[in-house]
Amino acid sequence: MRTLLSARAALLLLALPLLAGAFAQAQSAGTIPPSVDPELARYIGAIRAIDNHAHTVLPPPNDGTDREFDALPVDNMEPQTDPVVLRDSSPEVSAAWQALWGLHETAPLSTAALQRVQAARAAIKAREGVNYDNWVLDRMGIATEVANRVAMGPGIAKPRFAWVPYDDTLMFPLDNSALAAATPDKAQFFPLEAKVLQRYLQAATLQHVPATLGEYLSKVLLPTLQAQRQGGAIAIKFEIAYLRDFNFASVKQDDAARVYSTFASGGVPDVTSYKLLQDFLFRTLCQEAGRLGMAVHIHTGEGAGSYFSLAGVNPMLLEPTFNSKALRGTNFVLLHGGWPYVHEEGALLQKPNVYLDISQQVILFSPQLMSTWLREWLELYPDKVLFGTDAYPYTPAMGWEELLWIATHNARETLGITLTGMVRDGVVDMPRAKQIADMVLRGNAAKLYKLQ
Ligand SMILES: [Zn+2]
């Protein structure tokens, strides 16, 4: 394990944006991992990336109280078994503290060491002010970060940041108490979703949801999507995996409208009837987002919390959605690569409008392990795989900055290992390997979202 980590640390150094010096040093010191071709490592390290998915936190003066980096920012869920990399004792984060704050600290941090990390971060925030988030991106060689937020704010703007708002709440306009009773996690999630819906209703100058589904669509759902598009959104996001399963049926509007009008003014819908309405609204949201030129981001794979239902979010359950002729004008991006369903998710890239990103995976898994399934995806559909991080303010010692650093550097190393293997096995030549690296780190996202 130690050998593995020191090899990873060496490649992380290679991947710094201004890496010529570090690269030359590593080369002469003979510390380049043999699994990565030096020429590829240098090339990949210099690519200015587009991060398809991150939970960006506002820079000063608005940080500290900012909670809009998630529609479900739950702080006190019942404990789960954290993956090793997210534990206080994770060795991964030391390299991030060193690169970002110039500190040589070892996890787990003592109280005094945590104060040093926080003081170093605060000093740079004070120096950079509203430019702080741009400064963070510059440390990672990231040109543009796709920020998944309820709303954007000062200091996170085009061209360095693009917006993806949350729209799960538009699928749940009725009394959600029966759904919230299902698990302790959902008991926290649904009131948070209701707050977001209240915000969207206020923007539509409404106090309650309208009486009929037709009015709900014309006065709430469509105007919200239009406002998001006008506000610069390039996609909408579903965290639906935290709220229900992926089994979205094709439901006639009349059937959904009956459920809606029965319960819009009160009463708790039974779970089966409510599902009809949710299914209809999900597909409507996807269709309208596509019509407005926005992609649809869907959380796939494992999720936080000890009550998360992995069986319900097998991406294969989305196949009928992807096979809907009415939704072929909408591009879907499956976030986080879908582990443990990595093979299923890769197979779904055959659909012309389905993509996936490697966010979160590049935090949780070693490049050596992750490269095994990344190779599968890149051999088949290299034009459908997007770099992403899922950087998130996790703990005081592990903020979105540290996770962004870990994810970005692991992603470059994972790509390096994967493409080196493909070159050495004669699957692609070196020029094509470089081209694929460009596509994954930047080109595929630029094309999908029509970014510069
Ligand atoms: Zn996320």
Q: Is 364 contained in some domain?
A: yes
- Give the Å distance between the CA of 363 and the centre of ligand 1: 12
Question: Which tokens in the block code for residue 375?
Answer: 């190779």
CATH of the domain at 292: 3.20.20
pTM across the whole model? 0.92
- Give the Å distance between the CA of 434 and the centre of ligand 1: 28
Q: Is 359 contained in some domain?
A: yes
- Give the Å distance between the CA of 54 and the centre of ligand 1: 6
What SS3 class is residue 413?
helix
Q: Is 133 contained in some domain?
A: yes
Based on the structure, what is the number of domains in the chain? 1
Neighbours of ion ligand 1 (CB under 5 A): 390
Q: Is 65 contained in some domain?
A: yes
> CB of 203 within 8 A of CB of 228?
no
Task: Quote the domain boundaries for residue 177.
Answer: 49-401
- Give the Å distance between the CA of 267 and the centre of ligand 1: 33
Q: Is 386 contained in some domain?
A: yes
The one-digit pLDDT tens for each residue of the chain (452 residues) are 223 333 333 333 334 333 333 333 443 445 556 789 999 999 999 999 999 999 999 999 987 889 999 988 877 789 899 999 888 888 889 999 999 999 999 999 999 999 999 999 999 999 999 999 999 999 999 999 999 999 999 999 999 999 999 999 999 999 999 999 999 999 999 999 999 999 999 999 999 999 999 999 999 999 999 999 999 999 999 999 999 999 999 999 999 999 999 999 999 999 999 999 999 999 999 999 999 999 999 999 999 999 999 999 999 999 999 999 999 999 999 999 999 999 999 999 999 999 999 999 999 999 999 999 999 999 999 999 999 999 999 999 999 999 999 999 999 999 999 999 999 999 999 999 999 999 999 999 999 999 96
CB atoms within 10 A of CB 353: 16
Of residues 57, 292, 293, the one with CA closest to residue 152: 57
How far, CA to CA in Å, does 64 sit from each of 58, 120, 171, 378, 396? Answer: 8, 16, 30, 40, 11
Q: Is 273 contained in some domain?
A: yes
- Give the Å distance between the CA of 359 and the centre of ligand 1: 8
Q: Is 30 contained in some domain?
A: no
The string over 51-65, giving b where at least 16 C-beta atoms fall within 10 Å of a residue's C-beta and e elsewhere, is bbbbbbbbbbeebee
- Give the Å distance between the CA of 390 and the centre of ligand 1: 5
Q: Is 10 contained in some domain?
A: no
